Amino acid sequence: MIIVSWILIIIMIVLAILSVQFKDLLAAVVAMGAVSLIISLLFLLLQAPDVAMAEASIGAALTMIIYIIVVRKTERREK
């Protein structure tokens, strides 16, 4: 569990920094969804299956679609 959580947290931090730094907003949004998915895996490692299900279905699916619709309604590049 220790090694798995180390690997997952390092991937999560890299993805979070990428999602802030990407110039392409759609790529940033997809990286944000990946961060949510990894956080739901971490909740599973922390013995919280209820929270993991909520995060996977709300944080990674519904939130992503809200972001994607906003990017589509506005503009895609960050100037």
Partner 1 sequence: MIRKITYTIFLSIIVATLILFFVAFPFGKNKMGVGKYYLNNDIKQTGAANVVTAVTLDYRGLDTLGEVTVLFAAAAGVSILFYLIDQDKKKRERQVYPNFIVRVGSRIIFPFILLFGSYIFIHGHLTPGGGFQGGSIIASGFLLLYLAYPGERVNRKKLAVTEGLAGLTFVVFGAIGIFTGAHSFLFNFFPKGTLNMLFSAGILPILYIAIGFKVGSEFAGIIDDMMCQTVCGGEK
Partner 2 sequence: MIFYVGAFILIAVGLYAIIIKKNLVKIIIGLDLISSGTNLLIVSIGYVKGGTAPIFSHPGILPQMMVDPVPQALTLTAIVIGASELALAAAFVAILYKHYGTLDIRKVRGLKW
Contacts to partner 2 by CB under 8 A? 2, 5-6, 9, 12-13, 16-17, 19-20, 25, 28-29, 32, 35-36, 39, 42-43, 46-51, 54-55, 58-59, 62-63, 66-67, 69-71, 73-75, 78-79
Under DSSP, the state recorded for 24 is: B
Q: How far from the centroid of its chain's Cα atoms is residue 14's Cα?
A: 11
Handedness of CA 41, 43, 49, 54 (dihedral sign): negative
Smallest separation (angstroms) from partner 1 to the CB of 6: 14
Segment 50-79, which members bind partner 1 (CB under 8 A)? Answer: 50, 52-54, 57-58, 61-62, 65-66, 69, 72-73
**How many beta carbons lie within 10 A of that of residue 21, not counting itself?**
11
